[in-house]
Structure 1
């Protein structure tokens, strides 16, 4: 084998080793802000591409999580997210919403397979999409719901860092909803009383 053949073989072998390593966006930090914030904690398991989040709302105002992403090599997207959301607002919730805020320097942060996202006590609305998760259901004051979803940040490139946000906000039932609920309960009470009166007659 001549020297040229050896160089070509070495280049192919080297190129093959490079092609097996993939570029990836790696989440390195998460910070929190917002008027609704009571407490927040997180753990990043980079080996398994997993995030474990715990959050307490002290009011129904939004909480914004800011994710810092850096360039790395290794396994690609997505990150699996498990989140415990505690309602410490003193009010029952009827809806809960997640919205991705894209970074200025690029697009492509999404909830991967968003239709598989879950929040205990809630149902995912059809209005949901790759950058928003809208849930309808019920979470009583003083309780915790568990969320599960996947998220895919993009690789900002060698030597670069980027951030994106996920805004979370609960909503409470409208006063008309409470009025309708009370009216329905009152009607059921009247019907039950009539039924009892007929049985006793």
Structure 2
């Protein structure tokens, strides 16, 4: 019985390994449109995994929306991840990652898992939006409080 558990563990660990045929795509985040593409001739998903590195982002917290369209392939939304954080699949060919922390050290790495058939290809775009700092919300609430104070004071003057 123990041998079956050990064999199952070894098979599970082996299924997560990267293969030599995996493709790496580097994309620069330059503040404008961000796009990437790959076709089967490039070896997409040949090892079951493609890695896309998003370069040029500063340290911070990001919301990233990824839209992927493709032919003759399927992505696994349960294992595709961005810096280890699983995304949410909102529709076919779309992944979203909310509140991903990035320290600014090392690559910002998107891993796409799936299977490609003959003639497969995909292309995609992504958008990056910074998540506001807590101090931003504090200033917003402080300003609203001041507006409320002024409105109450004005109403008290009219009543008197």
Can you list the C-alpha shifts for 1:37-96, whole angstroms capped at 9, x where unaligned? xxxxxxxx9x7330122222111x3322222335x9xxx9563122332244x6845211
Between the aligned partners of 1:58 and 1:91, the Cα distance in structure 2 is 15
Q: Is the 8 A contact 1:97 1:169 kept in 2?
A: yes
Pairs within 5 Å for 1:39-54 = 48-54=20-26
Is 1:109 matched with 2:81? no
Matched, 1:173 2:131: yes
8 Å CA contact retained: 1:121, 1:145: no
TM-score (norm 2): 0.54
TM superposition shift of 1:167: 1.7
- 1:124-183 alpha-carbon deviations (Å, 9 max, x no partner): 2353x5522210124458554222221433313xxxxx75312222122369x8632556
Residue aligning to 1:11: none
Corresponding residue of 1:96: 64
What is aligned with 2:35? 64
Aligned-partner Cα distance in 2 for 1:148–1:181: 36
Where in structure 2 are there 5+ consecutive unaligned residues? 1-17, 143-160
Q: Which has the higher contact order (CA 8 A, sep 6+)?
A: 2
SS of the residue aligned with 2:72? coil
Superposed CA RMSD in Å reads: 3.8
* Structure 1 CA distance for aligned equivalents of residues 55 and 101 of structure 2: 9
Q: In 2, distance between residues paired with 1:134 and 1:181?
A: 27
The answer to whether the 8 A contact 2:89-2:95 is kept is: no
**Aligned twin of 1:131:** 93
Whole-angstrom CA distance in 2 between matches of 1:181 and 1:110: 44
Aligned partner of 1:15 in structure 2 is none
